[in-house]
Amino acid sequence: MKEILLNKVRVSNSASPFHQKVVNILVKDGQISDISESPITASSAEVIEGDNLWVSTGWVDMRATLNEPGDEHKEDIASLCKAAEFGGFTDVATLPNTNPTIQSKESIHFVKQMSAFAPVNIHPMGALTKNTKGEEMNELIDMHEAGAVAFTDGIHHSWHLGVVKRAIMYMQKFDGLLVEMANEKTLDMDGHMNEGVPSTLMGTRGIPNIAEWLGIQKLISLLTYTGGRIHFANISAAESVDLIRKAKADGLNVTCDIAAHQVAMTDEALSDFDTNKKVWPPFRAQKDIDALWEGIKDGTIDAIVSSHTPHDTESKRLEFDLADFGIIGLETAFANVVSNKPTDVGVDLIVEKMTSTPREILKLASPKIEKGEKACLTVFAPAQEWTFTKEDIQSKSLNSPFIGKTFTGKAVRTIN
C-alpha cells in the first residue's frame, strides 16, 4: 500500500472547506484517506514537507504542442508528460498539429491510449478542419465522442468565416468549444516581432496589435449571429483585452487565456536577436503587459497556459527572420507568472487560472481536496527561489530563453 503524507501545507482551492488553511493530508493508494489541521501519524508514508508549502488541485494546461506522431525528435508523449509533471501539471490539453493531423476518432484514441498510464492526463483537441487548412470541416461529433475536449486548427488561424460559422453552429449540438488563436493574416505582414520602436530599430518586420484585435473582432461578430462558445488562446494586446471584456459584458460565451511567458519580457528584450525569444503572438510593449494583468485581476482573462512549443536546434539556430516561432513552457509556466506578478495579484488567483477555470472551460471533472476523494494534487512553494538550468528541462527540446534565470515559485510534486 503506497502512502504519501503532506505535512503542513496551505490549501489553495476556493471550493474546499480547508481553503487558505494549513493542513496535513494523507494519501493512500491514490485516495485522500485523511485531511486534518491536527498532526497525522503514518509511519510507513513518504513524507513531503518544507517551508511554506502549498497544495491545490492538479494544475491544468490548456495549450501544449504535441509532436507525436510525426516529430517525435522534438517531443513525444512520454517526454511531454515528464515536462508537465516537472512543471506541476496533472492535466494537459494538446494541439492537433501533428503529422498526420489529429482529426479522427482513431487519432484521438491513439493519444489517449499512449498516455493512459502516464502521471499526466492528456486531453487531445481535435482539428477543426481537414489538415488544419481551414477549408473543410472535420467529423467533429466522432472526435467529441472519442474524447476530444475542444476543436481548433491550433497554430493556424481560421480564415474562412463560412467554415467557422458552420462549425460553431454544428458544435452546439454537443456544446462544443472552438479554440482560436486569432489573427488577421493580411495585417501581420509576415512579421517576426511586435510592431514598435524596437522592431524599427532592429530593421525587422513588425506584427501590429490590430492584427490580433481584428481577428478577435471578426469572430466575436460571428458569435453574435451563431451563438456557441469560443475560447481565444494566447491573447497579447491591450486592445484584445478591452474587446473581450466588452464581449463578456454583452453576454457572449467568450473565454480567453494568456501564455505564461507573455508577462516575462517586452519586445525591447529582443534587441539581441535571440531566436528563443521569438514567440507567437510576439512579446508586446509594457502597456500590453499591464493590460493583461488588469484582465487577470478583473476576470476578463480566464486561464494561464504554457503554450509549450518544442523545436529542435535546426529550427531555432537560424537568422531571426528565418527561425520558427515558439518556446518550451511547461517547466517554467508557474514560475514565470509568479516571478513577474504585480504585488496586488495573489498566488491564489494565479492558481485559480491554472486549475478551476481551465477545467470549467474544457468541461473536465473537478477534483476535490476532501477525505475520500481521488487524489489529484499539485504541491508547490510559491516563495522558493530557484535557477532554471538545462538539467531541469524534461522536454526533448531546449528552446527556452529562460535557461540560467532565477525564478520565484516552484512546483514541488504532483500526486495524480
Per the domain annotation, does 245 fall within a domain?
A: yes
Per the domain annotation, does 101 fall within a domain?
A: yes
Per the domain annotation, does 46 fall within a domain?
A: no
pLDDT for the residue 195: 97
Per the domain annotation, does 108 fall within a domain?
A: yes
CA distance 60 to 120: 10
What average pLDDT score do residues 321-339 get? 97
Per the domain annotation, does 103 fall within a domain?
A: yes
CA distance 310 to 396: 8
Per the domain annotation, does 320 fall within a domain?
A: yes
pLDDT for the residue 347: 98
- The amino acid occupying position 96 is P
Domain count, the chain: 1
CA distance 202 to 207: 14
**Beta-bridge partner residues of 36:** 24
pLDDT(188) > 90: no
Render pLDDT for 375-399 as a digit per residue (tens, 0 to 9): 999 999 999 999 999 999 999 999 9
Range list of H helices, 65-118: 77-87, 105-114
Render pLDDT for 82-139 as a digit per residue (tens, 0 to 9): 999 999 999 999 999 999 999 999 999 999 999 998 999 999 999 999 999 999 999 9
**CB distance 168 to 228 below 8 Å:** yes
Q: Average per-residue pLDDT in the chain?
A: 96
Dihedral of alpha carbons 139, 141, 147, 153, sign = positive
Looking at the chain, the whole-number percentage of residues with pLDDT higher than 90 is 95
**CB distance 180 to 230 below 8 Å:** yes
What average pLDDT score do residues 215-222 get? 96
What average pLDDT score do residues 36-53 get? 92
CA distance 56 to 355: 8
What average pLDDT score do residues 208-215 get? 97
pLDDT(1) > 90: no
- What is the H or E stretch that residue 289 is in? helix 286-298
- The CATH number of the domain holding residue 106 is 3.20.20.140
**Beta-bridge partner residues of 303:** 257
In which band, very low, low, confident or very high, does the pLDDT at 73 lie, cut at 50, 70 and 90? very high
Grid cell at residue 232: 481565444
CA distance 177 to 167: 10
What domain range is 331 assigned to? Answer: 58-369
pLDDT(145) > 80: yes
Per the domain annotation, does 178 fall within a domain?
A: yes
Grid cell at residue 392: 531541469
